[in-house]
Amino acid sequence: MTEDDLKALLPKMEEFHSRFNRFFLRTEGRELSRKYLVGLNLPIERKNVENIAEKVGAQVRNLQLWLSDSPWDDQGCRMEMQRMIGEQFGAPNGVLVLDDTGFAKKGTHSAGVGRQYSGTLGRTDNCQVGVFAGYASVHGHSLVDCRLYLTEGWLKDPAKRNSPKAALPEGVVFKTKHQLASEILNGVVSNGYLPLRPLYAAEDFGEALRPDLREAGVRLREATGL
């Protein structure tokens, strides 16, 4: 995307951002979130805080503090995102797709980072792993929810768990990838914004999630069978 493309899209981007304004509890946070959204879509090679702040006219310190410390309603944002995706992409034959994804990392300070297997990388390496849910229909597809996977070893290490750089909320306990996938599934079904046909697309999670699928009235089909 070029800067000219972004300028053409700004009205739509402003409309998109306005749906989430109420979930940022401070006026400054709302404005910085708008600037950060614009920065993420700019053609910048390295989209770190310093580069984004320079491009969008924000103070680096203010943008960094917003990212790390500003209060906002994470769950409210997730629900509004699902509502919007349901409005734009919703269809009776919509499919929810669950899978885990790994991200290679160089450092050691991010929450959950460490040597672990990543199917995305195809090997054990220093990375973060998350469980992600996408919604797909004849109208398009989009990410609808996600959870960061934290290994037991990482959570039991006080130096990592209590590190201010990891910024781990209080009360977080170990959950398997299947448990995280179950949370996502139950949340999507209970929110009710995404119409689903009686078909659930999953990879690796199928058998573990059958009780949740049965309760939700959703049939299971492995992702490889789609």
pLDDT tens sequence across 136-157? 999 999 999 999 999 999 999 9
pTM over 0.75: yes
Where the chain has pLDDT below 50, the residues are 201, 224-226
pLDDT in tens, 92-123: 888 888 888 999 998 888 899 999 998 888 89
* Share above pLDDT 90 across residues of the chain, in percent, rounded to a whole number: 48
pLDDT at 206: 60
Q: At what angle do helices 60-69 and 49-56 cross, to 10 degrees?
A: 120
Which residue has 């999507």 as its token pair? Answer: 188
The total of other beta-carbon atoms located within 10 Å of residue 121's CB is 15
Please report which residue ranges of the chain form alpha helices under DSSP H.
3-18, 27-40, 49-56, 60-69, 74-89, 152-155, 158-161, 177-191, 206-216
